[in-house]
Amino acid sequence: MEILADIIVIPKDDPIAFTFFTGYMAMLAASVFFFVERSSVDGKWKLSLLVSGLITGIAAVHYYYMRDYYLATGENPTALRYIDWTLTVPLMCVEFYLLTKVAGATKSLLWKLIFASVWMLVTGYIGEAFTDGSTEHSVLWGVLSTLGYAYILYTAWFGEVAKLAESSGDPVVVRGIRTLAWFVLVGWAIYPIGYMCMPGGWLNTGLGWSSANVDLFYNIADAINKIGFGLVVYSIAVSSKK
Ligand SMILES: *C/C=C(C)/C=C/C=C(C)/C=C/C1=C(C)CCCC1(C)C
């Protein structure tokens, strides 16, 4: 973690720095892919592909800044991270809405999902950014945040989104929404696990991790969720015949 005459040096033994750089490139490449492929899918899926490209594009720009911030300070770029998520997670809610719109998804469903995601992120931010290192603080805000997460999870698996997918009568959409619901269940769970490994968190004891270690979890999870989510949307767009 040193800056030599404006040249940024990546330490050979720093996996966190490594994932910031690969994460950046992967997000950028994914955006190019989604934007270019937009022209090869049926008209009704073009907006969904645009949103996929925006999600990875917004993340790429944030990664560009976060990796430099991390290299320069050795610290967790909490504010940049949450600004990124506050833009990209609601856009993932827009993806759910667009995919189920043919089956009658309403604006009110979209707003409920966006509200839940903003709730999850604002409370998570308070938990991380204003921590005094105590377990009380970490747990209180972590639990409040999890309420928003649980709402999105429920909606995707059993609630409105799942029901609308079912009534679309299109097996490709049904399968696609189910795959996205798996991403929310498994891929998104990596974030709270990382959160709990931070000082004050339930999983921190014994590990003795600093708060920068959380970036390893967040970087891997972001690559899986943002690029993976977009690829599922892409595969729905190319395989749905209707
Ligand atoms: C592209 C970014 C994504 C999909 C970010 C998702 C973030 C979460 C699901 C974060 C969840 C959290 C909790 C459920 C509790 C602890 C605090 C958070 C914000 C890490």
The shares of helix, strand and coil residues in the chain, as percent rounded to the nearest 5, are 80, 0, 20
- Could you tell me if 203 and 193 are in contact, meaning their C-beta atoms sit under 8 angstroms apart? yes
> 7: helix, coil or strand?
strand
The neighbour count for residue 121, using CB atoms within 10 Å, is 20
Q: List, for residues 108-147, the tens digit of each pLDDT value.
A: 999 999 999 999 999 999 999 999 989 999 999 999 999 9
Which residues, 6+ apart, have CB-to-CB distance to 231 below 8 Å?
none
Ligand 1 binding pocket includes 127 (Cβ within 6 Å) = yes
Q: Which of 147, 124, 156 is nearest to 229 (CA)?
A: 156
The model's confidence at residue 12, banded by pLDDT at 50, 70 and 90, is: confident
CATH topology for the 15-241 domain: Rhopdopsin 7-helix transmembrane proteins (1.20.1070)
The helix or strand, by DSSP H or E, that contains position 164, with its residue range, turns out to be helix 160-167
Look at residue 218 in the predicted model and tell me its pLDDT.
Answer: 98
Ligand 1 binding pocket includes 142 (Cβ within 6 Å) = yes
- Could you tell me if 180 and 96 are in contact, meaning their C-beta atoms sit under 8 angstroms apart? yes
Percent of the chain at pLDDT above 70?
Answer: 95
37 CA to centre of ligand 1 in angstroms: 29
The chain-wide mean pLDDT, for the chain, equals: 94
Ligand 1 binding pocket includes 213 (Cβ within 6 Å) = no
- How far from the centroid of its chain's Cα atoms is residue 14's Cα? 23
